[in-house]
Amino acid sequence: ALVTFTHGLSNEVASEGIRVNSVSPGVIATGMVFPEAKETGVHSPLGRMGRPQEVATTVSWLISPAASYVTGADITVSGGL
């Protein structure tokens, strides 16, 4: 639903110069991760859980001028899961 909302809203407000994107993180190593999720992280193609900084870097790129032509996108930060 969030991806569809992101795409629809981006089309609605693009003419006003507003960009709308979303970020979908996978299993990220935070204090909120259940022990079972830590097991999942090692089964990702990259063999580890994500770090909060990796999600933050993605968001920073999306709001920067470098991503000025990106709108309606959902960026998955999941290590390939």
Tell whether the model's pLDDT for residue 60 goes beyond 90: yes
DSSP string, 12-43: HHGGGT----EEEE-SB-STT--HHHHHHHHT
Q: Count helices and strands (H / E) in the chain.
A: 3, 2
Task: Give domain 2-76's CATH architecture.
Answer: 3-Layer(aba) Sandwich (3.40)
Residue among 66, 71, 79 at smallest CA distance from 11: 71
Query: Tens of pLDDT along 12-45?
Result: 999 999 999 999 998 888 887 766 666 655 678 8
Task: Name residues whose C-beta falls within 8 Å of residue 5's C-beta, 6 or more positions apart in sequence.
Answer: none
Residue 24: beta bridge partners? 76
Domain boundaries, the chain: 2-76
Residue 22: the pLDDT is 98
